[in-house]
Structure 1
């Protein structure tokens, strides 16, 4: 009896000391399980609008306007230096530049083509030539492509406080 209690105590200690750095949330929808890897603040997957719907909202916004929202979309590109930004497809050859609040978290560098749900603030900004060139360098663009950047650009931006990566 004493040995069984000792064994149970040992198993309890080992299980309770296990550290996880990434959380996974599983949601059932129409008999299918969807797993999410969570980054940044804890967010829920519900009430997210499609990226194409957000693209329409962006078009009616002026530089400096912002809106709190949750968007679901496909990642086109991720910073290959640290994972400190990503570009998400809005459809019609448009993208939203996503940065992470207070550089509090980064995304994996190998998630291009995967779907994400982002919570935060969407806004319209104007990106300087220097900043565009910096992003082009981070993305591994050629010297010719970087030199071709000569004008400020109106861009759609998103400051994410939490992101769910849809795992397949």
Structure 2
């Protein structure tokens, strides 16, 4: 009878271990701002052609972060071509991104604009980026640029 009880306890033990739920840890990319599907995003290098001469276009863009506001994470620069970047700000100043994401890939959801960036704004961005006083004073002309107002950002 004791052997039967021991066998029964062992069988119940084996089955209960086998029936435990197996959980797998899934890694999700961090989302800042409003959540959105990252599928079918446009490569940042293609954005100048898509925007063309239009004032603005609603789009999802994937690109590499070149620089981030070191004060709060309130803006970032995304590489468009070898020597141009797109300034990305966040809708209604509603969210910020980590300050250490330079070099990472992001997917942005929002609106791209053809815009002229004033000298004062350029100097402010340079100060936020930690540029030297000489570099800030060297900014003397408005700059035509593509800018982006993001409603959501996914850091990959």
| Pair in the same fold by TM > 0.5 | yes
TM-score by length of 2: 0.80
| Aligned-pair CA distance for 1:67 | 0.3
| Aligned-pair CA distance for 1:57 | 2.7
CA distance in 1, matches of 2:153, 2:37: 9
Residue number in structure 2 paired with 1:30? none
Q: How do 1:82-121 residues align onto structure 2 when only pairs under 5 Å count?
A: 82-121=72-111
Consecutive unaligned residues of structure 1, counting only runs of 5 or more, are 1-25, 27-33
| Aligned-pair CA distance for 1:70 | 0.2
| Aligned-pair CA distance for 1:91 | 1.8
From 118, 140, 148, the counterpart of 2:138: 148
Consecutive unaligned residues of structure 2, counting only runs of 5 or more, are 1-25
CA distance in 2, matches of 1:35, 1:72: 17
Residue number in structure 2 paired with 1:57? 50
Aligned with 1:76: secondary structure?
strand
Find the structure with the greater CA-based Rg: 2
Q: Which runs of 4+ in 1 moved over 2 A?
A: 55-58
Higher strand fraction: Structure 1 or Structure 2?
1
CA distance in 2, matches of 1:81, 1:71: 25
CA distance in 2, matches of 1:92, 1:83: 24
Number of aligned positions between the proteins: 131
